[in-house]
Chains A and B, each alone.
Chain A
Amino acid sequence: MIAFVIQRLMQSVLVMLTVALIAFALFNFVGDPISNMVGQDTTLADREKLRQELGLNDSFVTQFARFIGHAARGDFGLSYQQARPVGQIILEKMPATLELSFMAAALALLLGVPMGIYTGIHRHSWLSQAMLAVSLIGVSLPTFLIGILLILVFAVMLGWLPSFGRGTVVHIGWWTTGLLTVDGWRAIILPAVTLSLFQLTLIMRLVRAEMIDVLRTDYIKFARARGLTGRAINFGHALKNTLVPVITITGLQLGSIIAFAIITETVFQWPGMGLMFIQAVGFADISVMAAYLVLVGFFFVIINLVVDLLYYVVDPRLRVGRLGAAHG
């Protein structure tokens, strides 16, 4: 058990370092940081002095180590576009994205899994067919299009919900939350639904496919032959076996919600990290881009790690050795 955890931790560190390396390469070698920071009139001598001061002439490894050291403390340098520390910008935007992502993930899970189970068990009922048809549309419509459609219907035509922004937010320490005001809730509904739809359909289809596969196995057939009740078979045996592989993929999917937030935040002008990233791409603001990359990489790695550990806990075949104490 311990060996497994350590191995996974080391793998995570390796991936993080790779991501950091890419971010660092972006940060330092794409474009010239000096040119981005100073005006056109600065003399070559001054630039050279600045270069020396900022340690840009040191070896690659030294610069990389420095980068990691800073990154670990949340210091990503200055944003070229906004002339403020990147770390500060991220701190401002992160709560918005995290809240949105969390709501979307909750929606996707709470609706997707039950729908998947239902359509897996009752494969041919009309309700299943309807759900599948809707899911196909969910997979085919680009997220931004869904967002625009929802805005059109609920904000423009019906006027029930706002079409952009977070509504009124409450500050708690460095965190800002929109979930403590009615206004904030009204503002988060459309973006959360938009963000969750793609994941919802994926989760539903995945759970359904797994469920169907499991219901065809020999051990389910044997369970039926033993006369176990429908409920025991569907929810005791089939569901448990379905959820094991579903956990891994679902976990990874949910991680990608944070990245998909880029699109949703753009459509709804939601002041989060995704919108920040897009603006940075548009302005070629490398330090922001690099910081976003490191942060998102960090989230992914953590999620991957958690999912792997969960898998280990849930599947007994990984825990106990093969034929641990078997006799002949």
Chain B
Amino acid sequence: MAELAASGVPARVAKRQAVWRRFFGSDLLWSFCHSPVTVGAAVVVIVIVGAALLAPLIAPRNPYNLASVSLLDATDPPAWLAGGDWSFPLGTDNQGRDVLSTMLYGTRLSLLVGGSAVALSVVLGVALGLIAGWRGGIVDTVIMRIADVQLSFPAILIALLIDGVVRTVLPRDAQARITLYVLVASIALSYWVHFARTVRGSTLVERNKEYIQAAWIIGVHPARIVVTHLLPNVIGPVLVIATINLATAILTEATLSFLGVGLPPTEPSLGTLIRVGNDFLLSGDWWISVFPGVLLALLILSVNLLGDWLRDAFNPKLR
């Protein structure tokens, strides 16, 4: 960077260039490019996410437009089988909706729920972890006890419970409107613990370091210390956990939808589609479940692989 400064390039540009140089020459990028599996996984994720985001543009039909859906087309097989039709490339479901389009929109929903749940989880978990680690004492004990108790129950159960409770409390029509939010909230509430624990542990360690104590002594407000000084230093592992958590969140949403307490068949996610198709498996109409199933599996697998690579790349022991 000294050379750049000497050559007259302004300091902040020099700094940005240095960062790019560091990134491209870094171990991280090298290990990424040298692992064909990881590159493949990244490609798959980008394709799927891209397709889902562009669903309104690229889907052959809009499955939510009831006018375009006709029961006469119900349960048609995929295009390459007898009775199939290329205007419904992967067949239709029991209501006559095009499976391919519904899959694309469904993936969108799955990603939306999964992504939001993880984001919410991260915010909640990191915040609570920081508070627990920073304040210590009774606050710490209470938060960690709750975390411990919650950890001994599987997330699915917690999500189901929250969902069930909401269902009982709210009247039916209100339920339909807020299903999405309830889903996101219940998944987020099941997974905040992992983030909280990690962040709390790191906070406890960092809190005693000199740079924090220095900031404290010169009178910087505690909230500011935590956010500007402490937070960047404890956020590292959170990224890895968040990636793996994304896969789990998508999986949990799919499971909840499959069990019937997730997204409804009117606006189905991949899980709901599989549930719908489950009833038709025995009669031989396999495509309603199988295609969404394959897509779901691919998505989760790829995100998991990326998370694995990220974890190995950040693990000092393996370098």
Contact = CB atoms under 8 A, between A and B. Distances in A.
> Do the two chains touch directly in the complex (Cβ atoms below 8 Å apart)?
yes
Interface of A: 15, 18, 26, 30-31, 136-137, 139-145, 148-149, 151-152, 155-156, 163, 252, 255-256, 259-260, 262-263, 266-267, 277-278, 280-282, 284, 286, 289, 293, 296-297, 300, 304
Contacts of B156: 259-260, 262-263
Contacts of A262: 156-157, 160, 259
B160 A277 contact: yes
B interface, size bucket:
35 or more
Contact of B157 (A31, A145, A296): A296
Interface stretch (B118-126, B206-214, B218-226, B299-307): B299-307
B263 interface: no
Contact of A148 (B168, B274, B308): B274
B315 to A, nearest CB: 11
B255 A143 contact: yes
Contacts of B301: 136-137, 140-141
Contacts of A145: 254, 274, 293, 296-297
Contacts of B282: 155-156, 163
Interface in B233-257: 247, 251, 254-255
14 contacts: A18-B149, A30-B169, A136-B305, A140-B247, A141-B300, A142-B297, A145-B296, A262-B156, A263-B259, A281-B163, A281-B164, A284-B167, A289-B161, A296-B157
B167 A281 contact: yes
Contacts of B258: 142, 144, 263, 266
B255 A148 contact: no
Contacts of B304: 136, 139-140
Nearest to B304: A140
A259 B157 contact: yes
Contacts of A252: 152
Given A30-B168, A156-B281, A281 B305 contact: no
A142 B168 contact: no
Nearest to B254: A142
A289 B169 CA distance: 14
Contact of B154 (A139, A259, A266, A284): A259
A298 to B, nearest CB: 12
B62 interface: no
Interface string B151-192: 011101100110111011100000000000000000000000
Contacts of B286: 152, 156
Contacts of B290: 152
B160 A281 contact: yes
A263 B258 CA distance: 9
Determine chain A's interface SS by DSSP, over half rule.
helix
Contacts of A151: 281
B239 to A, nearest CB: 20
A267 B152 CA distance: 25
A18 B152 CA distance: 13
A259 B293 contact: no
A30 B165 contact: yes
Interface-central residue, B149, B152, B305, by most chain A CB under 10 Å = B152
Given A136-B301, A149-B293, A284 B168 contact: yes
Contact of B261 (A30, A163, A282, A297): A282
A289 B166 CA distance: 13
B300 A140 contact: yes
Contacts of B289: 148
Interface-central residue, A140, A252, A280, A281, by most chain B CB under 10 Å = A140
**Leading 9 A-B pairs by shortest Cβ distance:** A140-B301, A281-B164, A256-B154, A284-B168, A259-B154, A140-B300, A259-B157, A31-B168, A144-B258
Contact of A142 (B161, B167, B251): B251
A176 B169 CA distance: 36
B260 interface: yes
Contacts of A18: 149
A282 B260 contact: yes
Given A152-B286, A260-B156, 14 more contacts: A15-B149, A30-B168, A140-B251, A142-B296, A143-B255, A148-B293, A252-B152, A259-B154, A259-B157, A262-B160, A278-B160, A281-B164, A282-B261, A286-B168
Contacts of A140: 247, 251, 297, 300-301, 304
Contact of B281 (A148, A282, A289, A304): A148
Interface-central residue, A137, A139, A252, by most chain B CB under 10 Å = A139
B168 A259 contact: no
A18 B301 CA distance: 37
Interface-central residue, B153, B164, B281, B296, by most chain A CB under 10 Å = B164
B95 interface: no
A288 to B, nearest CB: 10
A293 B152 CA distance: 13
A144 B281 contact: no
